[in-house]
Structure 1
Amino acid sequence: MTYNDIAMKKNLVILAIGKTLIDIDSRRYTEVSKLLDKKYGIALSDCYENPKYLREVLEDLYGNSYRFLVDSIKEKLVDFPDHLAIANFLDVLSK
């Protein structure tokens, strides 16, 4: 896998996360970004490599409703299930 392939997959995932949060309410994007930074010292763009952190932040902020956000992210990435890295990301995010 080339660097461009990895970068493309990461960008797809980050865009799906961002769009999901902004579509619901632009404040969600800000809340999630701030808590990721506060708890883990990472940005939203680091969530591709750290899906567990994103899941934990979504759970902290939204309780069981976080699953709705995860489902929305999955829907945006449904056309890319053959990409192992994206499938792994979604698997960790969904646990």
Structure 2
Amino acid sequence: MAKYQKPVLFYQGNCGNDAARVALVSVSVESALLGYGVEIYHKVLSQLEKKYNCSLYDCYKHPECLNEILKTLPRNSRYKITQSIRNGLEEFSYVKPVSKFLDTLDS
């Protein structure tokens, strides 16, 4: 019987390349925003660019920027988008940077 092994994608050793995690988080955020509506998607991207000079890809390392933009949305919208992001990343929450990203969204 094969022993359970974490996916290589999330290797926690000396591998400094976290491009796969950046892409995973970015796609989850993008999907959640688009799931709520194209207008919200464009509004969030525009605000990220305008306020923080960053994109969705930068949100992985700076989730506080996304969190601040989401706080400007109506409470119900913010909750649904955050919940959708959390659902999309739930199975990867054992990875410390992903867990930190999710915790920052909840603050």
SS at match of 2:94: coil
Given the alignment of the two structures, is residue 9 of structure 1 paired with residue 49 of structure 2, yes or no? Answer: no
Show the counterpart of 1:64.
Answer: 75
Structure 2 residue ranges without an equivalent (≥5): 1-12
Show the counterpart of 2:64.
Answer: 52
**Higher helix share goes to which structure?**
1
Structure 1 residue ranges without an equivalent (≥5): none
User: What does the per-residue CA deviation read over 1:35-81, in whole Å, with 9 as the maximum and x for residues that have no partner?
Assistant: 01111111121110111110110111x13221221111000011111
Show the counterpart of 2:85.
Answer: 73
| Shift >3 Å, 4+ stretches | none
- What is the TM-score when the length of structure 2 is the normalising length? 0.81
Show the counterpart of 2:54.
Answer: 42
What is the RMSD of the two structures over their aligned residues, measured on CA atoms? 1.2
Larger radius of gyration: 2
Q: How many residues align?
A: 93
- What is the TM-score when the length of structure 1 is the normalising length? 0.90
